Structure 1
Amino acid sequence: MNKLYSFLGLIQKAGKLSSGDDTVELDIKKNMVKLLIISEDASENTKKKFEHMASSRKINFVFFGNKYDLGAAIGKSPRSILAIKDSGFAKAFTDKASNIINGGECIVKG
């Protein structure tokens, strides 16, 4: 699990990650998002909103981690929503997350 958080930090440094409701929503509307990460402790409204946006635009999404750890991983305040904007990074994150699914910590949908 720590490897996934470290990987998010790497993606942030590469400039291929956006975070926060407004920024991510804008990136979704611009068709820039390859993978959406929704924190497991996001509000039900936030989960429904972004799950619907991702589903309607055929964007894969995952429920992963909590907003405090996600924010810390990218050097920011707590974040409920992250968006990976590079298909290579999105695939790599999904592949890494798939190894954790057996433990029930990450579920990839899309």
Structure 2
Amino acid sequence: MNSNKLLSGLGLAMRAGKLVTGDEGVLDAIRTGKAKLVLLAVDASENTSKKFRDKCLTYQVPLIEYGTREQLGSSVGKAERVIMAVTDPGFAQVIARAKANLAEVE
């Protein structure tokens, strides 16, 4: 149930225009302080994972590794997505909370 909440939260953020996808867009959002939360697909390449983990650590942006690239993409009505940034604090909180609830269940 909660995984759907997390993915539907991404869909809502996308429709509200509060989601950035793709390497360049997400890196820019992190650097400019717009990113409130970054989501990374669990099947992202090692290089991509390292790049975004390091960048999020440097800029102190929370990073969640969750879902496959297919799940992340379909949650926002797009093709595969490996990396996304939520730019709204409210949506970021909802998604982080859904992920925390998931961790308790697992």
TM-score, length-scaled by structure 1: 0.90
SS at structure 2 position matched to 1:32:
coil
Partner of 2:103: 101
Distance 1:103 1:81 in 2: 24
Aligned positions of 1:1-110 closer than 5 A: 1-104=3-106
Distance 2:5 2:59 in 1: 28
**Offset of 1:103 from its aligned partner?**
4.2
Partners of 2:6 and 2:98 within 8 A in 1 = yes
Match of 1:57, as an amino acid? Answer: Y
RMSD: 1.0
- Aligned pairs, how many? 104
**Offset of 1:102 from its aligned partner?**
2.6
Distance 2:94 2:74 in 1: 20
Match of 2:39, as an amino acid? Answer: I
Match of 2:81, as an amino acid? Answer: R
Identity across the alignment (%): 38
Match of 1:30, as an amino acid? Answer: T
Could you tell me which runs of 5 or more consecutive residues in structure 1 were left unpaired when the two chains were aligned: 105-110
Structure with greater contact order relative to length (CA < 8 Å, sep ≥ 6): 2
Partners of 2:41 and 2:67 within 8 A in 1 = yes
TM-score, length-scaled by structure 2: 0.93
SS at structure 2 position matched to 1:33:
coil
Segments of 4+ moved more than 3 angstroms: none
Distance 1:69 1:98 in 2: 18
**Offset of 1:77 from its aligned partner?**
1.2
Distance 2:45 2:12 in 1: 26
Distance 2:50 2:39 in 1: 13
**Offset of 1:92 from its aligned partner?**
1.3
